[in-house]
Amino acid sequence: MRSRMALEPLAEEPGGGEEEAARRRSGFHAALHRWARLLSGAGDDARPAADLRVLLSVLACPLSPVPLLPRLPRHVASPAQYIIEQFRATTGCGKIEGAVKSMYAAGRVRLAMLQEPGGAAAAGGGGGRGHEGSFVVWQLAPSMWIVEMAVAGQHVAAGSDGRVAWRRTPWIGAHAARGGSRPLRRALQGLDPVTIASIFSTAEHAGEKLVDGEDCFVLRLDVGPSVLSSWSDGTAEVIRHGLMGFFSQRSGLLTRLEDSQLTRIQSPGAPAMYWETTISSSLADYRPVDGVAVAHAGRSTAHLARFGVGVRAARVVTLMEESWTIDDVVFNVPGLGPDAFIPPEEVRRSRFYDAMAAGK
């Protein structure tokens, strides 16, 4: 059993297995330090395992940059609200708002490195080293959820009890996330139209763009300074994080989701380092589930860049990819209640969890 040390807040950056000393560092700095060591091992016998850890850390269960907001009155007063009303009508999600209390989804994934640090193409061709697995998602509307993913013998999980989000991996254990509860990004990838409509209900119309041959309206959300500050600590400062949704002008469906985060890391006496993470997801194969259109397939590409004083190259870049298919979706799961979303003991006994649960 682990000792009763206080857990540091979870950094939303990749990490890997390290010695106990690394666990005691600032959450953000420790995760980035471990990731840098993983990436520096390109070419050795441990490379496939290191690749898989980075892939799972980045793509398995990232959070949405923005939280769910209170339900707004339905009136079309702006181009953005008109686009969301079209999305509601097309997906049919307006019919289940308030009626659907829970959801279950199961699917399959394939993760691969497309390009290793420094610009070298990953071994194995355009798809890189592929790791296949599966995942399940449970959600109790609107803010309680759990996702579990198993890929090539590695198991990761994340969840939210409606107040605090957390993540657990074999190499860093269970940690709470800074910034309180937010939706799972995977739910925004066409899986939960109700949450998509809620998230983008306050977005700004940012023009139009051709996406994969489809004319799309672009809606943009930028995280405000006060929220960014709540994600930061003494070592790491989240400078910006934004989310964009691309809605087809023809069908009204969400066809692409993009978000990007820039973080500044600076340890005492060391030069500043910058990490930029961008994830772009294409959604496809919308099918009706109880009269609601749900995307049953898609592909995400993550672009990670590290730059700053002391980096050997001007910009160290890693590219990775996840493709997924949804096998099963069920609304109103019998017997699913709040007790299913209690965080792991490691998270519950941390002082950070107590502060977040109290709303401080």
| Distance (Å, whole) CA 188 – CA 64 | 8
Is residue 168 in some structural domain?
yes
Is residue 92 in some structural domain?
yes
Residue 144 lies in domain: 20-357
Is residue 307 in some structural domain?
yes
Give the pLDDT score at 77: 67
Phi, psi of 103 (to 5 degrees): -150, 150
Give the pLDDT score at 51: 86
Is residue 216 in some structural domain?
yes
Is residue 57 in some structural domain?
yes
Give the pLDDT score at 120: 55
Give the pLDDT score at 9: 35
pLDDT per residue over 151-195, tens digit each? 999 999 999 999 899 999 998 899 888 877 899 999 999 999 999
Give the pLDDT score at 231: 82
Is residue 1 in some structural domain?
no
Is residue 5 in some structural domain?
no
Query: What's the structural domain count of the chain?
Result: 1
pLDDT per residue over 33-60, tens digit each? 555 555 554 445 556 788 899 899 999 9
| Distance (Å, whole) CA 235 – CA 359 | 23
The rounded percent of the chain whose pLDDT value lies above 70 is 77
Give the pLDDT score at 306: 86
Task: Please identify every stretch of the chain with a pLDDT value under 70, giving residue numbers as ranges.
Answer: 1-47, 69-77, 116-129, 310-314, 351-352, 354-360
Is residue 46 in some structural domain?
yes
